[in-house]
Amino acid sequence: MLRINKLDLLSFGVLIVLIIVLSLSACSPLKTAGKIQISINVNIPKSVETKDIKHGLNAYIDEVSSVELIVYDSANTEVLKQSVNKNKDISFSFELPRGGTYKFVVNGKRNDNSLVFTGEKTQTLQPGQSYTISIDTKFVNGYLAVFVDLDDELLVMYDVQELRALLKDSSGNVIKDENFQITPQATRLSISIDCYPRVYSVGISARLKNKATSEEWSNNLDEIAVSVEIKPGLTSVLDGFRIFFDPAEGHPQITYKFGALAPTITGAIYNVDTNELTINWSYPSSIANAKFYVYFLDKNNNLSLWDITTSHSSTQELLGVDFWNVQKIGVRAVVNGKESKIEYIDKSNVNITSINVPLTSSTMYTLFIRSFYDSNGDGIGDFKGVSQKIDYLKSLGVDTVWFLPFNKAKSYHGYDVEDYYGVEPDYGTFVDLENMIKVLNQNGIRVVMDLVVNHTSDTHPWFLDAVENTTNSKYWNYYIMTLENRDGWDHWHWKINSKGQKVYYFGLFDSSMPDLNFDNPAVMEEIKRIVDFWITVGVDGFRLDAPKHYKGWDWNDDIAGSAYYAKQIESYIRSKLGNDAIVVGEVYDGNPSVLSQFAPMPAFNFTFMYGITGNHEGKDNLLGETISWVNGATYYLNVKHFPFIDSHDLNRWISVLIDQKYSGDTQAGIRQYLLTNALLLSLNGMPVIYYGDEIGLRGWKWNSDPWDLPVREPMQWYANQQSAGQTWWTKPIYQQKNITFGNANVDGAMYDDPNDGVSVEEEQTGYSILNFFKQFINLRASYPALAKGSLTIERDWKNLYVIKRVYGTQEVLVLINLDPTWSNNYTVPAGYRWVWYAFFNGSMFEFGPKSESPLTNDTNWTVNPRQVYVFVKN
């Protein structure tokens, strides 16, 4: 007989219980070791454009009365539902009993339980853990029902080939393009479209075929565009489109049955400098609760919403580059939910205005942006940098700045343009440029743009298209091109396209600069568009690059033909900006008979430049030979010539004087430099100084690489050459070319060294070159006769030049002796008072204002060598 004691029986029982517990645990699909803590954060949908002025972009969110959360397990069984009565900062907190994969669904609802937004997220959770889960949401789609009525008479004459509803957003992008189902002879067609909520512009595109002639008719989509708002989960209805035959027009028309009276536009004005566009309209005061929607219709017929207001005018900032693309400006009234048609004003009827910037000193400053002032530390001057140095330019006294090219270009200098409607990325953005123009104008300084249209870059899209597609290209005749052999012909070059064709083209300056074809009328029309564009952006004038070479096969060929086209450009600019515009042509020739051929286009006075640089200590009849050729009667513009000494194409004048004329005698060179510039700044027209002239910046052109770059080096602001704003873009170029002359590879400047006395910082006080220029230019601003008056040459001798300027009742006399040895005398009439002087004779080096009483008698005045006197009579 088997005997089992109690202890064995007890142990067996415990074992059985343990096995059962372990078995149940192994068979369970969910672990129950711990609950899961959940926090849900709900991200509301991104804002969209609405018509609700009170609530603005949050209008749909504000319709939400409650947000519910539903949690589903992996079997899609609902395991939890919570709701909160709020529509912002939405969150939920709860526990789940076990781990697993869950789907979390969020629904935002209105009071009527209709959906506004929804979102969901699926996530696997581990037991005993805590989770914070973010759920993104989006608005649920709404619906648009569109109805179009077709007149019986229309259907007799036309078959409907196609009917489409196009929905555009406020930027003019087509969001939906849906076709109606065409039923023959149906007089009413409809379509239902599901759309993401926002404000749309809805237009009907129709294509009809005349039954008798088989001719097709289609419409301008945006002419009868209707603004409609699609709300989340709701249906909007547009019932009012009508297509009919208009006997007065002789073709079909599409209209919309509007429910509100349209506003009457009374005018619009755009300021190209402040970039402010204002449009005004009238509306009956008896009609209450009117809202007004202001639209832009661009050149591609895209309609975009600009403003929503309850007033009868709208003023907004609009960049010139954006205004350029506007075709029409429209206003629609909305009264109690009913819309009017859009009333338009064409851009051509917008009054264009600008900041009035009167000439004061009538002095032009040539500014190379790349070398001027750097706002972001990359070593390259930029638009923002110019804006930051406005106080410097004002202190200098200049009232006009000519900018070397700022179009997008292939080379550092900008004279090989790649985009006439774009800006050089190194200099910043269009916003930066337009802000710079605004700041300059607001501070009394005009902006003159370099218009480089003799040639383009060989990387310009026009040229690339012409080379690739040859005679099939729209731009083939923009250039002087041929497939005929031109090997060995002067100034002809060639490129091979992808088809293996050898395309020859004419480029006077270089193979990288193909000449434009002025015999093609399309080129002149393109130039006019370029001028219009930049006037819209806000420039106050243009410097024409190389107009002497618009025509001809060599450097002095067909000057008359070139002058013909230059005059056309001058005339067009004058028709746009008036006689106060600044227009000047770079006719690179010292012969007055050549320069005169370009009248009435004013020119840089190369005759004076050659005359003074060839006779730096003066000569008899210097002024008569170099400025008397300017016949004011042949010009229409107020500024008729532009005398200068320095430019970006010449060795810097101070270097020529010190290093060459005076064999390294710095003091003698500086004295003569200031005297010759005093003569320049005493002339009529608009004297031109080159950036850096005012501090005596040095520079010599090279006869090999890097060619002209050393006369375009960085403006020197600081004694140590390295502080905020200092440009150094030349340094990596010199390093790459292994140029060590003048430590150029270290500081980016061949002809300037630290602490050499040539910088704005080092010339703030005393008898510096900078203070000389400041004082003389501001003399022009202080005495209008010196800046704008008529000019009479009273003496024109080697050792005495006397210039008389008269403006109204004011007279100015300037006495200058360039000669280093011989003095001369002049009788100053009674009534004149001595207001300024410069003495550089012997050991003297001083200049400054004088405050003398008017002369009571005619006075014989001795003008010693290297002296300047300025007298004024009011």
pLDDT in tens, 61-97: 989 999 999 999 999 999 999 999 987 889 999 999 9
What number does CATH give the domain 783-873? 2.60.40.1180
Gap between the Cα atoms of 71 and 81, Å rounded: 6
- Tens digits of residue pLDDT in 258-305: 888 899 999 999 999 999 999 999 999 989 999 999 999 998 878 888
Q: Would the CATH topology of 36-139 be identical to that of 783-873?
A: yes
The pLDDT of 236-241, averaged and rounded, is: 90
The pLDDT, as a whole number, for residue 34 is: 80
Domain over 264-353 is classified CATH 2.60.40.10? yes
Picking from 741, 671, 755, 670, the residue whose alpha carbon sits closest to that of residue 704 is: 741
- pLDDT band at 27; cut points 50, 70, 90: very low
Strand duo 90-96 + 36-43: pairing: antiparallel
pLDDT (tens digit per residue) in 466-494: 999 999 999 999 999 999 999 999 999 99
pLDDT value for 211: 94
142-256: which CATH architecture? Sandwich (2.60)
Looking at per-residue confidence, does 54 or 388 come out higher?
388
- Taken in order 359, 364, 370, 374, the sign of the CA dihedral is negative
Q: What are the tens digits of pLDDT across the range 150-185?
A: 998 899 999 999 999 999 987 788 999 999 999 988
- Where is pLDDT greater, at 338 or 197? 197
pLDDT (tens digit, 9 = 90+) per residue, 750-781?
Answer: 999 999 999 999 999 999 999 999 999 999 99
Query: Which pLDDT does position 87 carry in this prediction?
Result: 78
Say if pTM beats, i.e. exceeds, 0.75. yes
CB 224 within 8 A of CB 170: no
Instruction: Classify domain 36-139 at the CATH topology level.
Output: Immunoglobulin-like (2.60.40)
Residue in this structure with the two tokens 């810097």, named with its chain if needed: 652
Among 107, 108, 80, residue whose Cα is nearest residue 93: 80
Looking at the chain, the whole-number percentage of residues with pLDDT higher than 70 is 95
User: What gap in Å lies between CA 509 and CA 703, rounded to an integer?
Assistant: 16
Beta strands 100-109; 400-403: pairing state:
unpaired
Report whether pLDDT(5) > 50. no
Report the first-to-last Cα separation within the chain, whole angstroms: 150
The model's confidence at residue 636, banded by pLDDT at 50, 70 and 90, is very high
Check pLDDT > 80 for residue 602.
yes
Q: What's the chain's average pLDDT? A: 93
How far is 292 from 340, CA to CA, in rounded Å? 10
Q: Supply φ then ψ for residue 6, to 5 degrees.
A: -65, -35
pLDDT at 14 over 50: no
DSSP state string for 243-262: EEEETTTTEEEEEE--SSPP
- From the number of C-beta atoms within 10 Å of its C-beta (0-12, 13-18, 19+), residue 103 rates as middle
Query: Rounded to an integer, what distance in angstroms lies between the CA atom of residue 434 and that of residue 524?
Result: 26
User: Quick one: average pLDDT of 421-437?
Assistant: 98
Alpha-carbon distance 329 to 278, whole Å? 10
Query: How far is it, in rounded angstroms, from Cα 712 to Cα 752?
Result: 12
Checking DSSP bridges between strand 36-43 and strand 130-136, what pairing results, if any? parallel
Residue 57 confidence (pLDDT) = 59
Q: Is the pLDDT of residue 629 over 80?
A: yes
Which residues on neighbouring strands pair with residue 39, listed in sequence order?
Answer: 93, 132
Q: Domain residues of the chain, as ranges? A: 36-139, 142-256, 264-353, 461-506, 783-873
Question: Alpha-carbon distance 177 to 60, whole Å?
Answer: 25
Would the pLDDT of 193 be above 90? yes
Instruction: Check residue 170 and give its pLDDT.
Output: 77
Identify the CA nearest to 148 among candidates 194, 181, 113, 122. Answer: 181
Strand partners of residue 423? 407
Whether omega before 592 lies within 30 degrees of 0, making that bond cis, reads no
Q: What is the pLDDT of residue 17?
A: 44
Q: From CA 174, how far away is CA 300, in angstroms rounded? A: 12
Rounded CA separation 445/694 (Å)? 17
* pLDDT above 50 for 28: no
Backbone angles phi, psi at 457, to 5 degrees: -75, 155
Judged by average pLDDT, the poorest of 128-137, 246-255, 437-446, 630-639 is 246-255
Give the span between the Cα atoms of 192 and 167, in whole angstroms: 12
pLDDT bin (cut points 50, 70, 90) of residue 247 is: confident
Record: fold of 461-506: Oligo-1,6-glucosidase; domain 2 (3.90.400)
